[in-house]
Amino acid sequence: MRKRTGALFACGVLLAVACAEADGPLALTGTAPAPHNAAKPTSAKQGGAKLSVYAGGVDRATPQRPCLNRPENRQFDFWVGEWDVMNAAGVGGSTNVISSLLDGCVIHESWTAANGGRGRSINTFDRDTDMWHQTWVAASVGHLRMAGGLQGDIMRMEGVRTQPNGVQWFDTYTWTPVNPDRVIQAGRLQIPAGNVDVSFALTYDRVPAVDPAPEAPTTFCQPGGNSEASRQLDFWLGSWRVLRANGRPLGFAEVGSDLSGCLTEESFRTAKGYESISFAYYDVIEQRWYRTLIDSEGERVELRGEVGEGPRSMTGDEDGPGPHSTWVRVTLQPVSADVVHQVWETSRNDGESWTEALRLIYERQ
């Protein structure tokens, strides 16, 4: 097995092998053996009779703030701060800003590499899966979905990416606090079918304020790029007033594009203090869409969908009360240039039939 160490991913904090393939074919052939203790992240569980994210706190007179004092949500706080970052060879110039959002329900990462490559992640403790989950999106190939938790003082997360031909990529990341002002982040990518085993180690040193390198925009997610499917949600970009289907005002949403078009990000809020954020992105490795939603009540759901034109539908499975799981389907449907419907549906029979549970009307401001 070929092994490379100390490599910095040119498009973020990922791994050199994937970036080297960003401008060429992405397929690897062969049959991958069983993973090396890699756990595939699970979707969020519903944990009750309500839908995650939107239908939870929007009607409360006073928002719940469960993440403020829940010990599990504080486990990754050692990473919060502004950091100068060096690779294993002692080369610096990269920076990372880690923030706590939504009353501590989200740990948000904003990475800038020394060469101007960028990436962002949202991390949360899901009390229904009893695990930490990370969604990482880069300004090129290399998006990640990982899950894990604290092992002693070390945060460890693992994930699996599966190409349409069945070849699997196994990701393992750890974050080790050395002292309050230093953290070691290590990562490993294994592709057994391609005899690839790549690892890196980064040293984070806390600073009062970072001075990131100038951003280096990419064309990877632009028309003509390898991931041009990332533009399929452009109809949703903008500032929106959000209403229920009966016309009752519900809140406001900002939907923006970042990471050279590789990330579509929504920030939703109500006047009563309920908030949620979502990352939506096209994964060129798996050749499908993903969307991760997290709200200020600590609920999380991960959805996935196929490439296509017209309305964007993504589904996820949520375990509810009893032995049966609930399938959730969320469709973003452009009605006109200034109106978009977001429809939440559920299914108890593995997607054979669907029941509409919530319809949100987005009116452009």
CB atoms near residue 166 (< 10 Å): 11
Domain residue extents for the chain: 2-43+68-206, 218-364
Give CA–CA dist 313/196, Å, rounded. 34
**Which residues in 10-153 belong to E strands, given as ranges?**
81-87, 94-101, 106-112, 118-126, 131-138, 144-151
Q: What are phi and psi of 335, to 5 degrees?
A: -90, -40
From the list 301, 318, 15, the residue with the least C-alpha distance to 143 is 15
Q: What distance, in Å, lies between the first and last C-alpha atoms of the chain?
A: 55
The reply to whether 218-364 shares the fold of 2-43+68-206 is yes
Give CA–CA dist 342/122, Å, rounded. 22
CATH architecture assignment, domain 2-43+68-206? Beta Barrel (2.40)
Give CA–CA dist 43/133, Å, rounded. 10
The region of weakest confidence among 2-6, 89-93, 148-152 is 2-6
From the list 169, 284, 283, the residue with the least C-alpha distance to 226 is 284
* CA dihedral sign of residues 326, 327, 328, 333: negative
Q: Residue 59: its pLDDT value, please?
A: 67
Higher pLDDT, 33 or 57: 57
Q: Residue 120: its pLDDT value, please?
A: 98
From the list 40, 48, 63, 60, the residue with the least C-alpha distance to 127 is 48
- pLDDT tens by residue, 164-210: 999 999 999 999 999 999 999 999 999 999 999 999 999 999 999 99
Element (H, E) at 90: none
Residue 132: HSE in the Cβ half-sphere, 13 Å Cα cutoff: 25
Spell out the long-range contacts of 123-127 with Cβ–Cβ below 8 A and sequence spacing 24 or more.
123/76, 124/73, 124/294, 124/298, 124/300, 125/70, 125/72, 125/73, 125/75, 125/76, 125/298, 126/44, 126/45, 126/298, 126/300, 127/47, 127/70, 127/72, 127/298
pTM for this prediction? 0.86
Indicate the pLDDT class of residue 312, thresholds 50, 70 and 90: confident
In contact, 330 and 303? CB cutoff 8 Å:
yes
Give CA–CA dist 365/351, Å, rounded. 35
Higher pLDDT, 29 or 186: 186
**CATH, domain range 218-364:** 2.40.128.20
Higher pLDDT, 224 or 35: 224
Q: Residue 54: its pLDDT value, please?
A: 56
Indicate the pLDDT class of residue 320, thresholds 50, 70 and 90: very low
